[in-house]
Amino acid sequence: MQELTLGQAVNQALREEMSRDERVFIAGEGVGVSIHSGPYGATNGLLEEFGPRRVKDTPVSEAGIAGLAVGASVMGLLPVVEIMFNPFFTIAADQIVNHAAKLRYLSGGKSKFPLVVRVKTGAGIGAGCQHSHNLEAWVAHSPGLKVVMPSTPADAKGLLKSAIRDENPVIFIEDMILHFVPGPVPEGDYTIPIGVADIKKPGRDVTVITWSKMLGAAFKAAGQLEQEGISVEIVDLRTLVPLDETTILESVRRTGRLVVLHEATRTGGFGGEIAALVAEKAFDALKAPIKRITAPDIPVPFSKPLEDFYIPNEISLMDSIRELL
Amino acid sequence: MDNNEQKKLLRMMLLIRRFEEKLVDLSQDPQKLGGMMIVCMGQEAVAAGVGAVLLPEDVIITNHRSHGHLLAKGAEPDLIMAEIFGRRTGYNKGKSGTLHIAVPEVNALCTTTVVGGGIPIAVGTAFAAQYTQKDYVTVCFFGNGASDEGSFHEALNMASLWNLPVIFICENNVYSGAQRMEEHTKVKDIADRAAAYAMRGEIVDGNDALAVYEAVQKARQDCLSGAGPVLIECKTYRWGGHGTADQQLYQPKDEIARWKEKCPIKGLKASLMQAGALTEQEYQQLESDTGKIVEQSVQFAEASPWPDPAEALEDVYA
């Protein structure tokens, strides 16, 4: 099987979808000619292959980019637009939260907005808080949007294809560190359904629910704890909205213990939603309190030791799991 | 424009006026019609003039002051009224109400109350025309206040950069909320802002439906020949407050009276009569016809069923 980074997997999905369907176009800041060009770039080489009609470099205008997607999609096109970094999403938020998410409802179900907004995110690249702030909970809190956050290159390819073919607005959030991490990716066309979590590692004693880059920390912790005789089940959500409640609840019912692990900050983070769901619907199965491992409630700091402190890791996850047992 | 076409303009303005007079009247009693009520009284010439140019395939994106735009684009008064009443038979099954009515049947694809929010969307619908090489234009309505929003500037820049077939219609009704022009921008004419984006900007008398028609007709041709986009500033005036609940304490009474003298309906009626193309009797007939349409729309709305509460959960996702 081919080995691709997440960035390359996204690139392959875009290339295949653009080849498959003339209605698909991409737009954003430097999706054609980029200040970040490189072999792992998600839109690398697409301008050369599909030309400037379908690969639109835009001005630095996030509201304009998102509005372009809203208007083009209601006319039947399938836009995939890029917001370069998650914190810049705030400038596009009116178009996405007030328009993309709501206009179908406001039309009484008559109009469709089949658009994808790709957003790059995550700490660990030394770019400071205005490039690295994870805001998935913001979009998950806006009914009308679907929210996808892949952790592996193979998932990224299959989920992006589903997102492009979905008739609803989909926010597709890609971690920047994962952009450079290789993994096996099936060749050719396949999709992974939106709204289906994946048990990345089965286990008996505790459920760790996570997504995106934190999957790596979960695997590191699970590997070490295995040697201590603790069996960890890792559930990769992959999609925050719609949420795969069944997989979450079934897993917690099997293990009786839950730790939610996410990189985003704690207060109002999506981990709280998972905890509430389990407390409401599987309280009787719990043998220990629910734990959340998250970033502290601070902006992402720059200095390397500070940034490392910010990002949750396997150490705090292992400590937390040991406390539960 | 020949006399018959002009009479259609007059009739459309009367329909819009009657429709909104009725809404203002009904909204005095919250038992009859609850919620916010925003009307375009005094600005009907813009809606009618634009509507007379557009073809069914043309798209409009409009704002909170939308009733006139929707009627002039060909939306059914009954179904608009039922939506305003929150009934299941309304265009959007009661999900939108007066503020967000979408009528995809006539390509009125978005009514947004986020000031300036529709302008980037109009860039998107115009982009789709260019991408698919189809001959339609997008008209985007907004007010003078919206031209202070970042979305206006981002959208005009992109539309101009890509030569998109979109006509930006700024209805300058003097006020942005309670702030007069000179209190919200130092720019005297919103049309001047077009120059910042290497776009043609034009000022028209927004109380003259014929002038609006002619400017939009030319802009439409420009857009279809690749010479778009165009910004047209229609100078007009809001007779009422921002909404019916607005006390209008900031609007001088003599100013309102002066603008009422420039009533777009009164103006077109006078010019048609002067040309011998309209009799008082014909005019009375137009008033009576449009009044009946509005009365019937209210009857339709009042007789229509409310949505079942559980219908609130429908139509979120496709």
Q: Name the superfamily (CATH) of residues B3-304.
A: Thiamin diphosphate (ThDP)-binding fold, Pyr/PP domains (3.40.50.970)
User: Do residues A160 and A204 both lie within one domain?
Assistant: no
| A108 closest CB neighbour out of B59, B92, B131 | B92
| A103 closest CB neighbour out of B110, B129, B157 | B110
List the single residue in A with minimal CA-CA distance to B90.
Answer: A108
Contact A94 B151 (CB under 8 A): yes
Name the residue among A154, A62, A157 with its Cα closest to residue B120: A62
CATH number at residue A239: 3.40.50.920
User: Do residues A172 and A209 both lie within one domain?
Assistant: no
In the chain, the amino acid numbered B83 is E
Name the residue among A325, A300, A302, A324 with its Cα closest to residue A312: A300
- For B153-185, the pLDDT digits (tens) are 999 999 999 999 999 999 999 999 999 999 999
User: Do residues A178 and A234 both lie within one domain?
Assistant: no
| Best residue of B64, B112, B115, B127 to probe chain A, by most A CBs closer than 10 Å | B127
A290: pLDDT confidence band, cut at 50, 70 and 90?
very high
This prediction's pTM? 0.97
User: Do residues A142 and A8 both lie within one domain?
Assistant: yes
What secondary structure does DSSP assign to B267-310, as a single string? HHHHHHHHTT---HHHHHHHHHHHHHHHHHHHHHHHHSPPPPGG
- For A235-245, the pLDDT digits (tens) are 999 999 999 99
> Burial of A276 by CB count in 10 Å (0-12 exposed, 13-18 middle, 19+ buried)?
exposed
Contact A104 B315 (CB under 8 A): yes
The answer to whether residue A191 sits within a structural domain is no
The answer to whether residue A235 sits within a structural domain is yes
State the nearest Cα–Cα gap between A122 and chain B, in angstroms. Answer: 27
- For A139-156, the pLDDT digits (tens) are 999 999 999 999 999 999
CATH number at residue A57: 3.40.50.970
What secondary structure does DSSP assign to A117-133, as a single string? EEEEE-SSSS--HHHH-
User: Do residues A166 and A59 both lie within one domain?
Assistant: yes
User: Do residues A209 and A258 both lie within one domain?
Assistant: yes
Name the residue among B205, B220, B209 with its Cα closest to residue B269: B209
Quick one: pLDDT at residue A315? 97
The answer to whether residue A165 sits within a structural domain is yes
User: Do residues A237 and A104 both lie within one domain?
Assistant: no
Name the residue among B131, B114, B110 with its Cα closest to residue B122: B110
User: Do residues A167 and A52 both lie within one domain?
Assistant: yes
User: Do residues A62 and A144 both lie within one domain?
Assistant: yes
List the single residue in A with minimal CA-CA distance to B98.
Answer: A106
State the nearest Cα–Cα gap between B122 and chain A, in angstroms. Answer: 6
Percent of chain B with pLDDT over 90: 97
- For A267-289, the pLDDT digits (tens) are 999 999 999 999 999 999 999 99
The answer to whether residue A214 sits within a structural domain is yes
List the single residue in B with minimal CA-CA distance to A167.
Answer: B318
| Residue A300 near chain B (CB below 8 Å) | no
B35: pLDDT confidence band, cut at 50, 70 and 90?
confident
| Strand bridging mode A239-241 / A146-148 | antiparallel
Q: Which residues in chain A are contacts of B154 at CB distance < 8 A?
A: 59, 61, 63-64, 67
A37: pLDDT confidence band, cut at 50, 70 and 90?
confident
| A75 closest CB neighbour out of B100, B114, B125 | B125
User: Do residues A181 and A212 both lie within one domain?
Assistant: no
Contact yes or no for A171/A148 (Cβ under 8 A): yes
| Strand bridging mode A232-236 / A198-201 | antiparallel
Domain boundaries, chain B: 3-304
Residues 6+ apart with CB under 8 A from B189: B201, B203, B233
| B150 closest CB neighbour out of A58, A63, A74 | A63
Domain boundary among A132, A161, A185: A185
Name the residue among A52, A54, A68 with its Cα closest to residue A22: A54
> B233 forms bridges with which residues in the sheet?
B170, B203
Q: Could you list the residue range(s) of the whole structural domain that residue A47 is in?
A: 2-185
| A64 closest CB neighbour out of B110, B120, B131 | B120
| Strand bridging mode A291-295 / A78-83 | unpaired
The answer to whether residue A202 sits within a structural domain is yes
The answer to whether residue A192 sits within a structural domain is no
Q: Residue B52: left if φ>0, alpha if ψ -120 to 50, beta else—which one?
A: alpha
A residues 77-116 lying closer than 8 A (beta carbon) to B: 77, 79, 91, 94-95, 98-99, 103-112, 114
Domain boundary among A159, A185, A211: A185
B residues 80-139 lying closer than 8 A (beta carbon) to A: 90-96, 100, 102, 104, 109-112, 114, 117, 119-129, 131-132, 138
The answer to whether residue A131 sits within a structural domain is yes
Domain boundary among A185, A211, A233: A185
The answer to whether residue A190 sits within a structural domain is no
State the nearest Cα–Cα gap between A21 and chain B, in angstroms. Answer: 13
For chain A, the domain total comes to 2
How many residues make up chain A in this entry? Answer: 325
A39: pLDDT confidence band, cut at 50, 70 and 90?
confident
Contact A111 B102 (CB under 8 A): yes
